[in-house]
Chains A and B, each alone.
Chain A
Amino acid sequence: MSNTFSFARVYAILLKEFLQMRRDRITLAMIVGVPLMQLFLFGFAINFNPKALPTVISVDDPGVFARAVIVALENSSYFNIVKETHSPQEARRLLQEGKVLFAVEIPENFTRDIVRGNPPDLLIEADATDTAAGSYAIAALTGIASTALRDDLKGPLATRAQTAPPFNTVTHLLYNPESVTQYSIVPGLLAVILTMTMVLMTCLALTRERERGTYENLLAMPASPVEIMLGKIAPNIAVGAIQSAIILIVAKFVFGVPMIGSLLLLSVALALYIVANLAVGYTFSTVAENQLQAMQMMVFFLLPTILLSGFAFPFDGMPGWAQWIGEALPATHFLRIVRGILLKDNGFPEIWPDLWPLILFMFVVMGIALARFRRTLD
């Protein structure tokens, strides 16, 4: 008789689940927080058609048409001219360092050649390490070329505007000339996969001890918080190293991702990135009361890492606040480092602007973990 289905028993279990849910504040925060976070990130931060991309212009022509092209680029809203220079070398360097996505070169005698009816070349070099970032902007270029000078080509020059564009646009996709999506996605996966697994490895480090009751014993013995933290983090560096090796080998031999930079430099950056993420997980484990809470915290960290780091969506297309959050995440910097080393052959000076934030992040997070760690059971 007791085996017949009973709604009362279903209700009993339902009631118990609700009671437990109500007492688990982090789960409650999850229920509200995760959808809100996703909505805001996807709704406001992500832009598939990024505009105002950082652009450097190297111009060696004082003429009116050069000026008109610059204005037209800015007016298109795709290009945000962050710097004007006379030196194409400097423009190339900014591109290499990842400070700009485009380098536009207006050659000498640009204006004169147009007047002579001898269409000059407008050279646009684009950083194609992130294939998604620049595609719309590049598509917009052709339109710019044909309309930019319409108002300026007056009088005897008016015929120039009616025929073919008065100048040619030559686009060079640097670092990933064929725009192979895998070349930008696979190095990005290195960043995302490592965050996922490294944070997971350590976020259970202390909560597991706490749940099993071994935490009290650990505290009762002479081990300092730093010793415990380093001892917990260290073995996982090996785990991270193995995963990195697997991902890089697959990237090279399955996806054919070029690796033109220094693998040694990449290893240094990898080591720092791995430790930074392990420190994040460890910090979660000093805060979380149980393993479930630790995992939930991990999700809160993982979401912005995937969405705001520039992995899934172009970083430059995000609004300022989202970029600020992104800059605070280790994955954002590591992503630039990996793409820089593998695709652009960046050396130490070029990656340093993204390396020090990683180091800073690592120490700040470790500091929080140590401050959170209690030597007593109070």
Chain B
Amino acid sequence: MASDLAIDVRGLTKHFGKKVAVDHVDIAVPQGEVWGFLGPNGSGKTTTIRMLCGLLHPDDGRGTCLGLDVITQSEQIKREVGYMTQKFSFWEDLSIRENLEFVARLYGLPDREAKVDHTLQRLGLVKRQKQLAGELSGGWKQRMALAACMLHEPKLLLLDEPTAGVDPKARRDFWEEIHALSEEGLTVLVSTHYMDEAERCDRIVYILNGKLIAKGTVNEVIAQSGLTTFVLEGEHVRRFLQKIQGQPGVDYAGFFGAALRVSGRDRIALEKTIAPYKNEAGVTVSETKPNLEDVFIHLQEDAK
């Protein structure tokens, strides 16, 4: 086993009843990298993360997390990993400080007071430390949760949609913190639905219906998709959507602002379909580099 991999799992599988939630997923995250974990709702992201931190027993597959076996050493993994749940899961009737002290005691941290003070400071929570967690807004809650799961100085952070429902400024601050942590050598696996966040990651993995179907840097994933995208702009482009959908070569068409984006893998067929619109008055057609959203929507449509 390579010791420079923070996460190294193969064939990770989990069933819930008859449904396969996670289907033979391989993930290998080198230490110190920030990986984005993407995929639609119910695709198996949370289940995968829970298996990595020992909250769920995999039905199949094996591997390690920080060099610890995910099947047999889940209790040790819990000590080494910081896991932030999708839903805020700290005690709302405790203050920020009380929550952090509780966590510090559970981990049996030495110099508890000092560590809590330091973490509060680092995340700018000093002034609010006496506020009840339940009274905090989404952004502060998320910050407190991050503080709590960093308190025991984990080597790996597993963050499950940490920025869902958080305003853009708070999201940006949050990501600055993530990158600062990663510079200190922390490995981060973060699931998200936001494309801009995916672009902040060293690498992304995309999971759909429990299967891992794309992996690499953002550019690699875009290139792998083999997608061609055209943008139709102009006053009346909205009229074309109905007509264009389902035409040869068009895998996906949709609006992005006032522009109509049309994507497909069959470049030649797509160009043929698009061609007539170039002659429409007041419409400009241009080719553009597909973005992650195009790719993901394409992947999702493709699977149907």
Contacts and interface: CB of A to CB of B under 8 A. Distances in A.
Contacts of B103: 221
Given A222-B78, A222-B106, A222-B107, A216 B57 contact: no
B194 interface: no
A377 B50 CA distance: 9
B54 A376 contact: yes
Interface in B55-69: 55-57
A217 B85 contact: yes
B56 A220 contact: no
B92 A212 contact: yes
A220 B106 contact: no
Contacts of A221: 78, 103, 106-107
A222 B79 contact: yes
Given A212-B92, A376-B57, A220 B107 contact: no
Nearest to A377: B55
Given A216-B55, A376-B54, A223 B106 contact: yes
B91 interface: yes
Interface residues of A, number: 15
B202 interface: no
A235 interface: no
B109 to A, nearest CB: 11
B176 interface: no
A378 B21 CA distance: 12
A320 interface: no
A219 interface: yes
B89 A216 contact: yes
Contacts of A215: 89
Interface in A205-220: 212-217, 219-220
Interface in B220-273: none
B56 A376 contact: yes
A376 B55 contact: yes
A186 B181 CA distance: 63
Contacts of B79: 222
B88 interface: yes
A217 B90 contact: yes
Contacts of A220: 53-55, 78, 83, 85
Contacts of A378: 56-57
Contacts of A376: 54-57, 74
A370 to B, nearest CB: 15
Interface in B29-54: 50, 53-54
B87 interface: yes
A222 B89 CA distance: 16
A219 B106 contact: no
B75 interface: yes
Given A220-B78, A221-B78, A222-B78, A377 B91 contact: no
Interface string A223-249: 100000000000000000000000000
Contacts of A377: 50, 55-56
A377 B58 CA distance: 11
Contacts of B108: 222
Given A213-B85, A213-B87, A377-B50, A219 B92 contact: no
Contacts of B56: 376-378
A160 to B, nearest CB: 80
A141 B107 CA distance: 69
Contacts of B83: 220
Interface of B: 50, 53-57, 74-75, 78-79, 83, 85, 87-92, 103, 106-108
20 contacts: A212-B89, A212-B91, A213-B85, A213-B87, A214-B89, A214-B91, A216-B89, A220-B54, A220-B78, A220-B83, A221-B78, A221-B106, A221-B107, A222-B106, A375-B75, A376-B54, A376-B55, A376-B56, A377-B50, A377-B55
Interface of A: 212-217, 219-223, 375-378
The 4 closest A-B pairs by CB, nearest first: A217-B89, A220-B83, A213-B89, A213-B87
Given A221-B78, A375-B74, 18 more contacts: A212-B92, A213-B88, A213-B89, A214-B89, A214-B90, A217-B89, A219-B55, A220-B53, A220-B55, A221-B103, A221-B106, A222-B75, A222-B78, A222-B106, A222-B107, A222-B108, A223-B106, A376-B57
